[in-house]
Structure 1
Amino acid sequence: MRKVWLNGSALALSVLFLFPVYWMFATSFKSNSQVLTRDPVFLFTPTFEHYSTATEVDLFWTYVGNSFVVTLGAVLLALAVALAASYAIARMRFRGRRGMVLAVMMAQMAPWEILIIVVYLNARDLDMLNSLGSLTMIYFVMALPLTIWTLRGFIAAVPGELEESAMIDGCNRTQAFFRVIFPLLAPGLMATSLFGFIMAWNEYAMVLVLNKAPEAATLPLWLTQFQTNFGNDWGATMAASSLFTIPVLIVFVLLQRRVTGGLAAGAVKG
């Protein structure tokens, strides 16, 4: 009975979380009359007219390119900096180490929305508004604390004797890191990459305030454009939301085997 209860609870939660996703994709293939009907329609003939409406928006491919540029740039920068920072925290002893760890934890817990005004004023004074570079740097800083904290756990879990053995065999510290420690960090790298990708891909508030120029906008702003004289165009909005979700689903499917173990291990190791 315990297994039945647990499996039943898991099934109910799965349906609860997956049904909105199903309804979003299903609505994107319905005609306008089926979208706006009072009674829900489950059986229908698919149509792609809403996807045509979504992709024919001005500068659509510019939005797509901008989103990929800032997202991939932020993730790669966060991984590069976090590897060095987490190695220093896990392996080295220096003055201010505990303060650095505390600062990383506080930065991870801070809600970035309260800093929007400060970020905007700094970007304005530095003439960095409507810039993909400044947006990439902000997303990089937002993803960095969790990346450092997770990778620190993986590095601390690697026995120091392995690294010392590699250095005795002729490797310097950098070579020992990349030959011994780095190959063991794959789960942590996958988990933190997925987190950074989802965070930067979905972020709306910063780009709304900093990049108001259409040519510097990203896909979250594109989702707000589907309105008519009679209200929201829900079919086109659902089609746009589906297109916006597909890259995240693809990345998750590719990384999901390592992501779960990576987040759990990074939380308890070290």
Structure 2
Amino acid sequence: MTVRTRRRPRTRIGWRAVGTWAAVAGVLFFTLFPAYFMVASSVSVQTGSGTDVLLPEALTLETFHYVLTEAGFLLYLRNSLVVALITVLGSCVLALLAATAVARFRFRMRTSILVMVLVVQMVPLEALVIPLFLQVRDLQMLNSLIGLSIVYIALSVPFAVWMLRGFVAAVPVEVEEAAYIDGASWGRMFWSVLFPLVAPGLVATGIFSFIVAWNEFILALTFLNEGDKYTVAVGLRQFFGQYTTDWGAMMAASTIITLPVMLFFLAVQRGLVSGLVQGAVKG
């Protein structure tokens, strides 16, 4: 007597797998195609022929040489790096101190301050251009990388405070009390106990501040009026003419601008993943 075993239909599972892979491929294509088009346009000889650059027949690096030497993009990169580093350090330090204050100490108007910080984050950037310009002008810091960095720090701190507040609040108070019992001062506890525990949150905050300082255009264009102080976002507009656009140079410059952000992400990706996971679970 033979026993027949029923086979499970695989058609539904097969189509489900095909649909999943198709969705993943669509998302990857939608995400990576602009980057591919940018890089292909920057190395293609046929820079102004539209879709012909998708599969370039001849490659060249002359556009990169022109951008880095004759167009002065090395100077713009240096200015942007200075502004970004100052912004990251300043916003992380201020946000960590403010987040520790609102998460650990009880004082009057504590909730009101948190609400005000959140409201400031919701104000459109265009509405802040003129007030910030007047303040920077009164401080005599126009056309200054330091002045621009201070403005970026002011824009980054509200979001950074809200992000770090969750990390500080997730640290058990008993850990700090144990440090006090062992004889540590508040400064010693802050540096040796609290700071290492919230370091992943600082990484996520630093990435946000870096992107704000690196990609911002309106404020940089408004506050800087000398070519030797331009950042990369402002320097990119020199390739746009009144009647023509140097697409090859613009794409090469865009590729160069993208590389520091990618390298920064690769350098801190482990801390970023840890920080996002901890913030999602404990925050």
- TM above 0.5, yes or no, is yes
Q: 2:95 matched to which residue of 1? A: 82
**C-alpha contact 2:37 2:53 (8 A) present in aligned 1:** no
User: Residue 231 of structure 1 aligns to a residue in which SS?
Assistant: coil
- Mapped partners of 1:126, 1:168: distance in 2: 46
**C-alpha contact 1:29 1:239 (8 A) present in aligned 2:** yes
Q: 2:257 matched to which residue of 1? A: 244
**1:171 Cα deviation from its structure 2 partner:** 0.4
- Mapped partners of 2:251, 2:133: distance in 1: 31
RMSD, matched Cα: 2.0
The percentage of aligned residue pairs carrying the same residue is 41
1:1-270 to structure 2, matched below 5 A, reads 1=13, 5-31=19-45, 33=46, 35-36=48-49, 39-227=52-240, 231-266=244-279, 269-270=282-283
User: Residue 249 of structure 2 aligns to a residue in which SS?
Assistant: helix
- Residue 41 to residue 5, structure 1, CA distance change in 2 (3 Å): closer
- Residue 5 to residue 158, structure 1, CA distance change in 2 (3 Å): farther
Q: Which amino acid aligns with 2:237?
A: T
**C-alpha contact 1:153 1:265 (8 A) present in aligned 2:** no
**1:91 Cα deviation from its structure 2 partner:** 0.8
Larger radius of gyration, structure 1 or 2?
Answer: 2
Structure 2 length as normaliser, TM-score?
0.88
**C-alpha contact 2:98 2:161 (8 A) present in aligned 1:** yes
- Residue 115 to residue 168, structure 1, CA distance change in 2 (3 Å): same
Q: Which amino acid aligns with 2:112?
A: G
**1:227 Cα deviation from its structure 2 partner:** 4.1
User: Residue 59 of structure 2 aligns to a residue in which SS?
Assistant: coil
**C-alpha contact 1:135 1:207 (8 A) present in aligned 2:** yes
**C-alpha contact 1:153 1:268 (8 A) present in aligned 2:** no
Question: Gaps spanning 5+ residues in structure 1: where?
Answer: none
Q: Deviations over 1:70-123 (max 9, x none)?
A: 110011001111111101111111111101111121122222221111112222
Question: Gaps spanning 5+ residues in structure 2: where?
Answer: 1-12
- Mapped partners of 2:50, 2:25: distance in 1: 29
User: Residue 39 of structure 2 aligns to a residue in which SS?
Assistant: helix
